[in-house]
Amino acid sequence: MLSLGRNPGEYLVINDNIVVQVVSINGDLRLAIDAPKQISIVRGEVYEKLHPVPQCLEQLKEKYL
């Protein structure tokens, strides 16, 4: 897993067709995600209602939280 620090206006590109941009930080982190329609984007709390927490996220919780 890659962990990056980004400032408002900065972005990252995944696989040439997904862009994740930091759009504002006013006490809360806000992200804008542009991806093809066939790519499913689901908030973590919604995902976890139907699936177990991904192993990579469990490791991050242990490391950073």
Q: If you write DSSP's letter for every residue of 5-63 in order, what string do you get?
A: ---TT-EEEETTTEEEEEEEESSSEEEEEE--TTS----HHHHHHHSPPPHHHHHHHHH
**Residues 27-41 pLDDT 10s:** 788 999 999 999 999
Quote the tokens at residue 61: 């919780």
Question: Average pLDDT, stretch 3-22?
Answer: 92
What's the predicted TM-score (pTM) here?
0.74
At 18, the amino acid letter reads I
Q: Is the pLDDT of residue 23 over 70?
A: yes
Of the two residues 35 and 2, the one the predictor is more confident about is 35
The ranges assigned to domains in the chain are 11-64
